[in-house]
Amino acid sequence: MMRFTPVVSIAQLPSTGNWQLTTGNDSIFLDVTGCGRTFGGLPNLLEQVHQALRSMQLHARLAIAPTPGAAYAIAFAGDENGRIIPPAEMRDALTPLPPAALRIPLQTAEALYRLGIQTIGQLMQLPRNDLPARFGHEMLTRLDQAIGHIPEPLTALTYRPPIEARIDFDGVVDSLETIGLTFKDLIGQVIAELSRRGCGARKIELEFDRPDAPILLKSILLSRPSRNAANLFNLIRCATDGMEDNARHQGTIARTGRSHLARLSTNSDSMIPSGFTAIRLTIPLFQPVADEQIHLIEQEVHHSQLELDHLIERLMLRLGDEAIAQARLLESHVPEHAYEAGIRADGSGSSKTQQAIAYPLPLAPYPCARPLLLLNHPTEIRVMVCPSHDCDGRPISFTFDGQTHHVAHAVGPERIAGQWWLGHNRTRDYFAIETETARRWWVFRVRETRKWYLHGEFE
């Protein structure tokens, strides 16, 4: 809404669960005083506001009146959506509306209804001196604000311009040294704005303008808010290296002796190097950075966590945003159901199945160690046990992928009961085994069917 007026305020309304009397805190005030000329009159301004809300699939009731209270009352309880009330008609427009339209508490509106006061016109005819003792001063304040007897100043929202920096070159630039200095200059500009807001970047977008080709775009996601210049510069440098590989894959031909960014801008059809004419750096997503007091004995842990976050950021740039998954514990005794893998980005990634992920240790201790590498689905294997006639025998060899592995040591069994509501044949006896070649596996036997499965491998 700030495109229509510099004064946009969130309405402060009483909290209530009765939607028939108030709508709650879902209203916005726009002070459009003097703004009608810019949009060709108040009707055109109102129509553009309506179109803007409708484009975002938001249904709203609109009204323009001389006071915020009158505008809210007419929009909330008026018969017509989009009315424009001149100052001379404001009192007559408020008279037939219910008192709840004055943004009074629910209890006050119910008390007035029980007394037979069903319109604002009836309320204005009551003796003013007797109203505060029975209904409090807030009702008279809201009535006077709507009529215009007392002012109702609006607390305007602070406009925060987007955090971005752009450098336009006088000509085509393809020097790696110049581009590196440009990155440092752009980072310095955005960090200054981030510092003023007390925030750190969570997402960075880069745009490279080329004179004879489409704009190159690259997004960088960060694990935590950061405004460290060295960290941001390293991430941008890593991101541009990945863009080089993508450009080659798309058919861009690299020339020897030129910077990798310059090779990105080469026209593979005409073989004419074009370079860049402008570079823009934008921070579309940022979050507050909290000052942390790190204890002396926690410094190593803190630095290790920072290194892990930086590693994940670089891997995501190299391998793709969906290449790194973060495991989250779930409440289940079945190992393959005790976690889910989510895309590690800004915290809102959807769960995805990976070929192999880091399996987190459960919250409660288990008698047997768990492998870090689990298969998506247990694979059935052929196992020989000793004694061979015993259903509870220990594994001595198994066949997997056409190879026979002889077991040197076996630890177990660890019995895990299945989920009975999913059917029978769910009880598993797990063994941690080590073969003669020093490889360690995690296998289990389904007690009801006597079938063996390979579930994981120890690193």
Q: What is the pLDDT of residues 362-410, one digit of tens each?
A: 433 444 567 878 887 888 898 888 887 767 788 888 888 888 888 888 8
Question: What pLDDT, on a 0 to 100 scale, did the predictor assign at position 458?
Answer: 87
Task: Report the C-alpha gap between 366 and 272 in whole angstroms.
Answer: 64
pTM value surpassing 0.95: no
Which carries the bigger pLDDT value, residue 364 or residue 54? 54
Q: Which domain holds residue 140?
A: 8-147
Residue 340 lies in a domain: no
Task: Report the C-alpha gap between 355 and 370 in whole angstroms.
Answer: 18
Percentage of residues in the chain having pLDDT higher than 70:
75
Give the mean model confidence (pLDDT) for residues 279-306.
Answer: 74
**pLDDT over 60 (residue 19):** no
**pLDDT over 60 (residue 103):** yes
Residue 182 lies in a domain: yes
Task: Report the C-alpha gap between 382 and 445 in whole angstroms.
Answer: 11
**pLDDT over 60 (residue 132):** yes
Which carries the bigger pLDDT value, residue 454 or residue 321? 454
| CATH number of the domain enclosing 226 | 3.30.1490.100
| pLDDT tens column, 242-265 | 554 444 444 443 344 444 454 444
Give the mean model confidence (pLDDT) for residues 109-118.
Answer: 88
Which residues are CB-neighbours of 121 under 8 A, at least 6 positions away? 94, 95, 96
Angle CA 10–22–99, to nearest 5: 110
Residues 168 and 312 in one domain: yes
Residues 310 and 167 in one domain: yes
Residue 49 binned pLDDT confidence (cut-offs 50, 70, 90)? very high
Which carries the bigger pLDDT value, residue 31 or residue 133? 31
174, HSE (Cβ side, Cα atoms, 13 Å): 18
Q: How many residues does the chain have?
A: 459
Residues 17 and 80 in one domain: yes
Amino acid at the residue 288 = P
Question: What pLDDT, on a 0 to 100 scale, did the predictor assign at position 364?
Answer: 39
Which of 278, 295, 318 is a domain's end point? 318
Residue 357 binned pLDDT confidence (cut-offs 50, 70, 90)? very low
Residue 440 lies in a domain: yes
Residues 198 and 277 in one domain: yes
Which of 301, 318, 335 is a domain's end point? 318
Question: What pLDDT, on a 0 to 100 scale, did the predictor assign at position 409?
Answer: 87
Residue whose structure tokens are 């995805």: 352
C-beta neighbour count of 261 within 10 angstroms: 25
Question: What pLDDT, on a 0 to 100 scale, did the predictor assign at position 137?
Answer: 84
Question: What pLDDT, on a 0 to 100 scale, did the predictor assign at position 65?
Answer: 93
Residues 196 and 269 in one domain: yes
Please state whether the peptide bond connecting residue 413 to the residue before it is cis, i.e. omega within 30 degrees of 0.
yes
Residues 169 and 245 in one domain: yes
Question: What pLDDT, on a 0 to 100 scale, did the predictor assign at position 46?
Answer: 93
**pLDDT over 80 (residue 71):** yes
Residues 123 and 83 in one domain: yes
| pLDDT tens column, 174-227 | 888 888 899 999 999 999 999 988 898 988 899 998 887 888 888 888 878 888
Residue 364 lies in a domain: no
Question: What pLDDT, on a 0 to 100 scale, did the predictor assign at position 162?
Answer: 85
Residue 436 binned pLDDT confidence (cut-offs 50, 70, 90)? confident
Provide DSSP, 386-428. Answer: ESTT-TTPEEEEEEETTEEEEEEEEEEEEEE---GGG-SS--E
Task: Report the C-alpha gap between 380 and 451 in whole angstroms.
Answer: 7
Which carries the bigger pLDDT value, residue 262 or residue 28? 28
Residues 186 and 311 in one domain: yes
Collapsed DSSP state (helix, strand, coil) of residue 217:
strand
Residues 194 and 310 in one domain: yes
Which of 318, 334, 355 is a domain's end point? 318
Question: What pLDDT, on a 0 to 100 scale, did the predictor assign at position 44?
Answer: 93
- β-partners of residue 440 are 434, 458
Residues 17 and 143 in one domain: yes
Domain count, the chain: 3
Residue 354 lies in a domain: no
Residues 133 and 208 in one domain: no
Give the mean model confidence (pLDDT) for residues 84-89.
Answer: 92
Question: What pLDDT, on a 0 to 100 scale, did the predictor assign at position 55?
Answer: 92
Write a three-state SS string for the chain: CCCCCCCEEECCCCCCCCCCCCCCCCCEEECCCCCCCCCCCHHHHHHHHHHHHHHCCCCCCCEECCCHHHHHHHHHHCCCCCEECCHHHHHHHHCCCCHHHHCCCHHHHHHHHHCCCCCHHHHHCCCHHHHHHHHCHHHHHHHHHHHCCCCCCCCCCCCCCCEEEEEEEEEEECCHHHHHHHHHHHHHHHHHHHHHHCEEEEEEEEEEEECCEEEEEEEEEEEEEECCHHHHHHHHHHHHHHHHHHHHHCCCCCCCCCCHHHHHCECCCCCCECCEEEEEEEEEEEEECCCCCCCHHHHHHHHHHHHHHHHHHHHHHHHCCCCCEEEEECCCCCHHHCEEEEECCCCCCCECCCCCCECCCCCCCCCCCCCCEEEEEEEEEEEEEECCCCCCCEEEEEEECCEEEEEEEEEEEEEECCCHHHCCCCCEEEEEEEECCCCEEEEEEECCCCCEEEEEEEC
Provide DSSP, 107-171. Answer: HHHHHHHHTT--SHHHHHTS-GGGHHHHH-HHHHHHHHHHHTSS-----PPPP---EEEEEEEEE
**pLDDT over 70 (residue 446):** yes
Range scoring the smallest mean pLDDT among 96-105, 217-226, 279-288, 430-439? 217-226
* pLDDT averaged over every residue in the chain: 78
**pLDDT over 60 (residue 359):** no
Which residues are CB-neighbours of 166 under 8 A, at least 6 positions away? 186, 278, 279, 280, 281
| pLDDT tens column, 259-271 | 445 444 444 433 3
